[in-house]
């Protein structure tokens, strides 16, 4: 159904092809998962199937790509639309209508399907993806995950023979991701739909794949095989595979179920080794809650790049030791927020202290982004109070606010306006009234090798996140908020982010991150707050809150339950 014959793609201005010698086939009725580290060219391969590469992106495609017999170099995306449905990384930028129902119907309208068929399929898809309560909503008011569900629904309604999906579950909560993947599997099994999907969170998707296509490194040949064969050699792999390698299990388990069957001996070896109040930082010597970062602390920067996956200590974030503080960085009391007719938050009470890393979790639309936006003053409380650094953020002048709290939004590009990295940094220094060069020094520490002249648009997803983080950190806000910071990041980039945030927390910053990435929460969070329909339904140590939740438990904790392990790193440490 999809055939690549010795394909290479070279973008305009690039010295080398981004992908080369790509030769593979996806048979009808199979789900093939495209796997590889960030920047190896997965989106480029997917784009060559839908025709976006090279028709929209520019550049040169050599070799031949055919989809259902049509050559994508001679057929524009429009001429492939009846066979290929595509979901890209950023749903909002692809929406063409204003409301959920219209968006679900749009693809069918363009294909001229009869109104009765369109009506039936819209209803089916609303039910299938849990979108019925949102059918009349404006797309712009939906939460990130709700938008991603609409984007997926809108490519399903025309019943294309081929689906091309670029990180389709990146904004979905774990349960929604399972539901969407089960729907895809049904289409593959029952209707013979062919699916090619790239995804970084392999723990979510590997068990649904018939085959894995692996791009192991930039410029390397694409290899294809069964998921088990490819995971044995892949440089990126989910925690279940990591644990399997550590324990020497052969064949490697790909699912929690496989691993649980093998884990008896490992559980025996680990019995009694983990402290009851297990927390990731505790395993490494405990969190270091101190006072908030001293305003006059040194800005030590510089240093060479770290080895991906082994975060080095970052000098830039060391602060002078401050005495233990009982200070509250933020206080939220009886907070409720209504947005249009939606109760986005209800009766929230919470306190944030220096040195805490808090993961905010919950289903799509639970109110996580709204809470972060309220803490940073973008949304005002409908009732109740919010105090950050002793003042209500929505009434604090921006110049003062940036020194109390900073938010890295779901789309880091929403924070970046300038044409170059250097200009972005000059603006950040000015906004934060920081010494000239402060932001640039942070960028150097986070992104060694990025040139001043690079346009933020040309940075990779992970690099853009790092720049946005540097912009926010320029003002040294005691409270750092991050909304879904691991979208588009591979495991190595995630490990670097974990290293950085751990250092910031140790330096006394409080960190709150909204995330669906249960593995990230397991590695990083001291405390987890679960939201449901705008209310806090659990608030406590990560080990307690997430290990007891079937949806939010990380793989290792499911495999080794009833013992409360969170990460493979903890197990590795205990065994050694």
Ligand X SMILES: Nc1ncnc2c1ncn2[C@@H]1O[C@H](COP(=O)(O)OP(=O)(O)OP(=O)(O)O)[C@@H](O)[C@H]1O
Contact residues: ligand X, CB under 6 A: 11, 18, 36, 38-44, 57, 141-146, 173, 339-340, 342, 344, 362, 364-370, 460-461, 488, 514
CA torsion angle for 263, 266, 272, 278 (degrees, to 10)? -70
Q: Where are the alpha helices (DSSP H) in 310-457?
A: 368-375, 398-401, 421-431, 438-446
| Residue 273 to residue 269: CA distance in whole angstroms | 9
| Residue 52 to residue 237: CA distance in whole angstroms | 28
Smallest distance, Å, CB 563 to ligand X? 30
Nearest one of 395, 413, 423 to 459, comparing CA atoms: 413
Main-chain dihedrals φ then ψ at residue 103, nearest 5 degrees? -65, -40
Give the list of residues 6+ apart from residue 131 with CB closer than 8 angstroms, or none: 100, 104, 125, 146, 149, 150, 153
Smallest distance, Å, CB 378 to ligand X? 11
Cβ proximity to ligand X, 143 vs 438, nearer residue: 143
Q: Name the packing angle between helices 461-473 and 438-446 (round to 10°).
A: 140
Cβ proximity to ligand X, 146 vs 234, nearer residue: 146
Cβ proximity to ligand X, 293 vs 365, nearer residue: 365
Cβ proximity to ligand X, 205 vs 344, nearer residue: 344
Return the residue nearest ligand X (CB atom).
145
Complete DSSP assignment for 514-562: E---HHHHHHH-SEEEEEETTEEEEEEEHHHHHHT-TTT--HHHHHHTT
Cβ proximity to ligand X, 410 vs 557, nearer residue: 410
With beta carbons less than 8 A apart as the criterion, state whether 413 and 354 touch.
no
Smallest distance, Å, CB 345 to ligand X? 8
Nearest one of 444, 437, 496 to 467, comparing CA atoms: 444
Ramachandran region of residue 67, left (φ > 0), alpha (ψ -120 to 50) or beta? beta
Cβ proximity to ligand X, 335 vs 559, nearer residue: 335
Smallest distance, Å, CB 337 to ligand X? 8
| Residue 488 to residue 141: CA distance in whole angstroms | 23
Smallest distance, Å, CB 33 to ligand X? 13
Smallest distance, Å, CB 290 to ligand X? 30
Cβ proximity to ligand X, 370 vs 396, nearer residue: 370
Smallest distance, Å, CB 339 to ligand X? 4
Smallest distance, Å, CB 67 to ligand X? 18
Cβ proximity to ligand X, 406 vs 488, nearer residue: 488
């Amino acid at each position: 159904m999809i055939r690549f014959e010795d394909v290479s793609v070279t973008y305009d201005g690039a010295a080398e092809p981004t992908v080369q010698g790509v030769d593979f086939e996806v048979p009808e009725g199979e789900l093939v998962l495209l796997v590889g580290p960030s920047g190896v060219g997965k989106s480029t391969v997917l784009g060559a199937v839908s025709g976006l590469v090279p028709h929209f992106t520019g550049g040169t495609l050599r070799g031949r790509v055919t989809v259902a017999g049509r050559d994508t170099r001679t057929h524009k995306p429009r001429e492939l639309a009846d066979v290929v449905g595509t979901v890209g990384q950023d749903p909002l930028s692809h929406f063409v209508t204003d409301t959920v129902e219209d968006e679900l119907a749009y693809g069918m309208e363009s294909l001229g399907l009869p109104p009765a068929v369109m009506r039936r399929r819209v209803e089916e898809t609303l039910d299938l993806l849990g979108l019925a309560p949102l059918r009349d909503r404006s797309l712009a008011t939906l939460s990130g995950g709700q938008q991603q569900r609409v984007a997926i629904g809108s490519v399903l309604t025309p019943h294309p023979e081929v689906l091309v999906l670029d990180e389709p579950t990146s904004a979905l909560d774990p349960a929604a991701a399972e539901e969407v993947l089960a729907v895809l599997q049904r289409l593959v099994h029952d209707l013979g739909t062919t699916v090619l999907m790239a995804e970084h969170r392999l723990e979510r998707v590997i068990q649904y794949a018939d085959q894995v296509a692996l791009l192991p490194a930039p410029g390397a040949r694409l290899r294809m095989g069964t998921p088990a064969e490819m995971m044995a050699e892949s440089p990126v792999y989910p925690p279940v595979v990591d644990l399997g390698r550590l324990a020497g299990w052969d064949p490697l388990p790909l699912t929690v179920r496989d691993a649980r069957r093998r884990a008896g001996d490992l559980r025996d070896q680990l019995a009694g080794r983990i402290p009851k109040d297990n927390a990731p930082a505790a395993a490494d010597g405990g969190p270091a809650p101190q006072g908030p970062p001293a305003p006059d602390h040194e800005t030590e920067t510089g240093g060479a790049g770290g080895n991906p996956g082994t975060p080095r200590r970052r000098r830039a974030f060391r602060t002078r030791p401050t005495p233990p503080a009982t200070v509250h960085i933020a206080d939220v009391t009886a907070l409720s927020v209504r947005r249009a007719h939606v109760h986005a938050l209800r009766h929230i009470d919470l306190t944030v202290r220096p040195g805490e890393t808090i993961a905010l979790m919950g289903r799509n639309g639970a109110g996580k982004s709204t809470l972060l936006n309220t803490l940073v003053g973008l949304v005002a409380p409908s009732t109740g109070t919010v105090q950050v650094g002793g003042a209500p953020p929505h009434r604090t002048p921006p110049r003062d606010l940036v020194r109390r709290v900073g938010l890295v939004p779901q789309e880091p590009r929403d924070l970046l306006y300038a044409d170059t990295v250097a200009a972005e940094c000059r603006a950040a220094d000015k906004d934060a009234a920081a010494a000239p060069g402060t932001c640039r020094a942070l960028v150097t520490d986070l992104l060694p090798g990025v040139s001043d002249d690079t346009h933020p648009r040309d940075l990779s997803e992970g690099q853009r996140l790092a720049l946005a983080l540097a912009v926010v950190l320029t003002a040294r806000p005691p409270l750092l908020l991050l909304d879904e910071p691991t979208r588009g990041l591979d495991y190595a980039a995630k490990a670097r982010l974990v290293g950085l945030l751990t250092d910031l927390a140790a330096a006394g910053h409080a960190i709150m991150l909204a995330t669906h990435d249960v593995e990230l929460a397991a590695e990083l969070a001291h405390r987890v707050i679960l939201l449901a329909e705008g209310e806090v339904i659990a608030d406590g140590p990560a080990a307690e809150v997430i290990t007891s939740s079937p949806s939010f438990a990380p793989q290792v904790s499911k495999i080794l339950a009833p013992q409360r392990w969170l990460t493979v790193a903890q197990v590795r440490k205990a065994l050694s």
